[in-house]
Amino acid sequence: MKKLNKFMCLALSASMLLSFTSCDPDSDDEKIEFENVNIVLPEPVGENPFAGKTFTINSENPFISQPSKYTFTNDTCTISQTMQSGEDSTIEAAATYSYSYNATDSLLYLALRTTQYLGAGDSMSFSDLKNFISLGQKSGADTAELQYLADQASITFSTPAVCKYTIQDDKFSAENYFDGTLPCQCSFKSDSAYLSAEGISFSSKTDDAVYNIMLFYDKDRSFHGRVYSTAGETISLTGTVKGTYTSTGKGTSGCKVSLTFTDLPEGIKSFSKGMPYIFEQMTSSLY
């Protein structure tokens, strides 16, 4: 379960910003930008198959030391995990979602509301993370790293999960389902890059850096975002991108997404403006 590990890292990173003490509320530094976070879930269809139930699922992730627990109320789902943080130590993490469902098509919809790292204090909403990141900027933290964290938080809290589920003999399983639109929690790959909820990741053949293009999508099937390069432990903001996308298919595997860049930094040699890049969906389990 890589996604909740990311949620845990967000909570931990945000809490670490509290260690900065030299705040300057009148700082004129360039402000960190946040994207809009507004997930509207579809109306439920059919009888609720989840309310009041708790399921446990074994994770294929080697860093998950115990089965993940899914606890449903009438309108929320909390996913709890125990992460292995060392040979003899573990970390408790949890994320709470609003949910909806389509019992006819066996689809579950999730929208993240709070994330919690149980060694770092109370649970955190998107507003909490924005406050912590802003505090970090006022305290002199690196702007590129804070913007990276802000983009990660924006994507994490604005990307819904849609899953195809099965419930049989009180056993629950779910796979990420692509409904034809982005953003989504599905994973896609091309010959040289990966497309996930956070955008595109690839390794450069020219400078040995790892690049992440954080993408945000609009209803007209356009996108925009920022490009980050990571060399060692240093994160650099290298430019911005714009473009459009199309898609084919709906389901848990085999769907395709085509991205075409209309604006791209000159230093990015792995992609070219005006050329479609096709990514094919990989099968992936819900968290």
Give the pLDDT mean for 261-265.
Answer: 95
Please give the pLDDT value at position 122: 58
CA 164 to CA 205: how far, in whole Å? 37
Running DSSP on this structure, what letter comes out for residue 122? S
Domain limits, the chain: 2-176, 187-282
Q: What is the pLDDT of residues 181-191, one digit of tens each?
A: 999 999 999 99
Mean model confidence pLDDT for the chain: 83
Please give the pLDDT value at position 24: 45
Query: HSE of 25 in the Cβ direction (CA atoms, 13 Å)?
Result: 1
Give the pLDDT mean for 115-139.
Answer: 71
pTM for the predicted model, two decimal places: 0.84
Please give the pLDDT value at position 84: 64
Res 28 pLDDT > 60: no
Q: Percent of the chain at pLDDT above 70?
A: 82
- Give how far Cα 89 sits from Cα of 15, 66, 85, 224, 256, Å: 20, 13, 6, 40, 40
Res 42 pLDDT > 90: yes
Res 17 pLDDT > 60: no
CA 273 to CA 255: how far, in whole Å? 23
Give the pLDDT band (50/70/90) at residue 62. low
Q: Percent of the chain at pLDDT above 90?
A: 49
Give the pLDDT band (50/70/90) at residue 54. very high
As given in the structure block, the two tokens for residue 38 are 């507004």
Please give the pLDDT value at position 196: 94
Res 264 pLDDT > 50: yes
Please give the pLDDT value at position 181: 95
Res 136 pLDDT > 70: yes
Give the pLDDT band (50/70/90) at residue 86. low
Give the pLDDT mean for 95-108.
Answer: 96
Res 8 pLDDT > 80: no
Residue 282's DSSP bridge partners are 187
Q: Which residue has 């399983």 as its token pair?
A: 173
Give the pLDDT band (50/70/90) at residue 115. confident
Q: Could you tell me how far CA 198 lies from the centroid of its own chain? A: 5
Q: What is the pLDDT of residues 177-232, one digit of tens each?
A: 999 999 999 999 999 899 999 899 998 777 778 999 999 999 999 999 999 998 87
Pairing assessment for the beta strands 222-231 and 210-217 based on DSSP bridges: antiparallel
Q: Which of 56, 98, 108 has its CA nearest to residue 81? A: 56
- Residue 190 burial (C-beta neighbours within 10 Å; 0-12, 13-18, 19+): middle
- Structure-model confidence comparison of residues 250 and 15, the more confident one: 250
Query: HSE of 11 in the Cβ direction (CA atoms, 13 Å)?
Result: 23
Give the pLDDT mean for 26-36.
Answer: 68
Q: What is the pLDDT of residues 143-167, one digit of tens each?
A: 888 899 889 889 988 999 999 999 9
